[in-house]
Homo-oligomer: A and B are copies of this chain.
């Protein structure tokens, strides 16, 4: 519709919106937020991979990432370990990380990215 493609839309958000060669993704949290930071990060990155595939993109084409964390001092190094291992290629996005508060107490990180399609 008018050059905009929306994936998995509901009344609050669309999981992915593609326009003009760029995919904008909704914030991704882990499927199972009872898990620790290592496993939450792994689940978030796996979900990201699936969503990118739905619009013909992949992790080598990420442009930007914001990582919102519940506990930066506590979780930063474990998150980064998973993150860097996932980018085997070194084709990393522009990134910013901050500690915020989440509605649901168990969420330890949320990831917001854009990607080239």
Contact surface of A with B, Cβ cutoff 8 Å: 1-4, 6, 9-17, 19-22, 24-27, 60-66, 68, 72-73, 76, 80, 83-84, 87, 90-103, 110, 112, 114, 116
Contacts and interface: CB of A to CB of B under 8 A. Distances in A.
Contact of A9 (B21, B64, B92): B92
Copies of this polypeptide in the complex? 3
A116 B24 contact: no
Nearest to A101: B99
Contacts of A12: 80, 83-84, 92, 95
Given A3-B116, A4-B116, A26 B72 contact: no
Contacts of A21: 19-20
